[in-house]
Amino acid sequence: MLFIEILKAFFLGVVQGITEWLPISSTGHMILFDEFVHLNVSEAFMEMFRVVIQFGSILAVVVVYFDKLNPWSKNKDAGERKSTWSLLGKVVLAVIPAGVLGVLFDDLLDTYLYNYITVAATLILYGILFILIERWRKNHRYAVESVDVLPTKKAFAIGCFQVLSLIPGTSRSGSTILGAMLVDVSRPAAAEFSFFLAIPVMLGASGLKILKYVLEVGLAFTAVEWVTMIVGILTAFAVSLVAIRFLTGFVRKHSFAAFGWYRIVLGALVLLYAVLAG
């Protein structure tokens, strides 16, 4: 039985590691996964685990971009260190909108929007937007080609777009990348800045979920729950390393239209399943 639970946690980590970084909604995929693969854990633990598993994905970003985000790096001169501090300041500024609203409305969002209809609608809506914006911006020369020269106002604007990701099925990376493109930031820069925004946002979300779980249930995890958490987080970390490198290479040569079509098809399947299951 324990082996089966480890296998389930492994597949959960794979789903999380891939879908967290690609603009296709990790929450939407996790909801579908939960429907077909049930872990032998409490509902309270599962609600917390869906968020905490993201910790593995956060570690992957830190590993991949450690030197770029490290203002004390010995490989940087004084000017580069100053530029790194400036970038970190923009990341902090950009996460404020989603951070504040996420804390205020976390319970309401879970209660009223964490369902098939919401996820399906947002998958389809943002899939259409990806396709339309890519057609509109085809052959467009963006004003900002690198996060190193990202203006503070545009960074904050991207952070405001990230608020949309509080709605399940939207995709955090999807909302930030779309927002970045709308304020004239290139795909590679948008994807990279989205990765950086994920670190404080996902750390905060994980911390909030753990705190609520501890206050309501305590720290009395079962052996299966401990194994589930460790395997899920480690798998999400390993898969995220691959997914991040894939996306950074993909966006330099391709548009996000393919992800748009994928979202539309997945949203339609979610709606179909909701109708058949209901």
Q: How confident is the model at residue 108 (pLDDT cuts 50, 70, 90)?
A: confident
Under a CB-based contact definition with an 8 Å cutoff, are residues 224 and 94 in contact?
no
What pLDDT, on a 0 to 100 scale, did the predictor assign at position 35? 75
Q: What is the mean pLDDT of residues 19-25?
A: 89
Q: How confident is the model at residue 109 (pLDDT cuts 50, 70, 90)?
A: confident
The structure's pTM equals 0.86
In total, how many domains does the chain have?
1
Question: In this prediction, what percent of the chain has a pLDDT beyond 90?
Answer: 49
48-72 b/e (C-beta count within 10 Å ≥ 16 → b): bbbbbbbbbbbbbbeebbeeebeee
Helix ranges restricted to H, 137-186: 152-162, 172-182
- C-alpha 6/C-alpha 13 separation (Å) is 10
84 pLDDT above the threshold of 90: yes
- C-alpha 226/C-alpha 206 separation (Å) is 16
For residue 254, how many other CB atoms are within 10 A of its CB? 12
What pLDDT, on a 0 to 100 scale, did the predictor assign at position 278? 66
Residue 192: both structure tokens together: 């990279």
The number of residues in the chain equals 278
Q: Is the dihedral of CA 114, 243, 271, 166 positive or negative?
A: positive
33 pLDDT above the threshold of 90: no
Query: 232 lies in which domain range?
Result: 2-277
What pLDDT, on a 0 to 100 scale, did the predictor assign at position 29? 82
Query: What pLDDT digit, counting tens, does each position of 187-242 carry?
Result: 899 999 999 998 998 888 778 778 888 888 777 788 888 888 899 999 999 999 99
Q: How confident is the model at residue 66 (pLDDT cuts 50, 70, 90)?
A: very high
Under a CB-based contact definition with an 8 Å cutoff, are residues 243 and 22 in contact?
yes
What pLDDT, on a 0 to 100 scale, did the predictor assign at position 135? 92
Query: What pLDDT digit, counting tens, does each position of 257-272 carry?
Result: 999 999 999 899 888 8
Average pLDDT, the chain: 89
Q: Pick from 207, 211, 100, 249: which is nearest to 162 by CA? A: 100
What pLDDT, on a 0 to 100 scale, did the predictor assign at position 201? 82
The SS3 of residue 137 is: coil
Q: Which residues, at least 6 apart from 261, have a Cβ–Cβ distance to it below 8 Å?
A: 127, 131
C-alpha dist (Å) from residue 172 to 54, 71, 202, 249? 12, 26, 10, 19
Query: What pLDDT digit, counting tens, does each position of 118-174 carry?
Result: 889 999 999 999 999 999 988 889 999 999 999 999 999 999 999 998 888 888 888
